[in-house]
Amino acid sequence: MPKALFAMGCFWGSEAAFRQVQGVTATAVGYAGGHTENPTYKEVCGDRTGHAEVVEVEYDPARIAYGDLLRVFWDNHDPTTLNRQGPDVGTQYRSAIFYCDEEQKAEAEASKRAEAASGCHRRPVVTEITAAGPFWRAEEYHQQYLEKRGQAVCHIPVR
């Protein structure tokens, strides 16, 4: 099954948003885009590793297209705030799409252009689009964090 990596603020809410989508077969939260091997939550939150909090989404392309996952990404965070989502501030909360192949890259870039031109935002879209490097799975207590606490979402979608 193919995978997609998205950074859209708090990874707890990001994971919850994708887990509700038909065609998503698995999710995991973790860290990507940094320079430290096997970072811990404390290190990432200290804004010292360069990593973003991300959700890794495994999906069945016969049931959902990558473009539909991009729509979930855009609809569930504010892509105009640099290094911030709601009360969470730091580069670990940046808006980013980490592509796994050239097809994802092209689709992500086209999607970003369409989002920027949509008229839905008063400020420029600052989402970075970067090649996926290593995905470092977060500590187990972060996995499906909101579900374990009986919560469905972490934040209110921006649309």
Over residues 70-98, mean pLDDT: 95
What are 36-48's pLDDT values in tens digits?
A: 999 999 999 998 8
Over residues 39-67, mean pLDDT: 95
Q: Percentage of the chain with pLDDT > 70? A: 88
pLDDT confidence band for 141 (50 / 70 / 90): low
**pTM of the predicted model, to two decimals?**
0.90
> Token pair of 141, please?
């207590």
Catalytic residue set = 10
Over residues 79-107, mean pLDDT: 95
Asked whether the beta carbons of 15 and 27 are under 8 A apart, the reply is yes
Per-residue pLDDT, 11: 84
> Token pair of 13, please?
């809410």
| Burial grade of 104 (CB within 10 A; 0-12, 13-18, 19 or more) | buried
H runs (alpha helix) in the chain: 11-19, 41-45, 66-75, 102-117, 145-148
Over residues 99-113, mean pLDDT: 98
More confident position, 11 or 104: 104
Which domains are assigned to the chain? 3-148 (3.30.1060.10)
Over residues 86-106, mean pLDDT: 95
Mean pLDDT rounded to a whole number for the chain: 90
Over residues 77-104, mean pLDDT: 95
Does residue 156 have a pLDDT over 70?
no
What are 119-135's pLDDT values in tens digits?
A: 999 999 999 999 999 99
Per-residue pLDDT, 149: 67
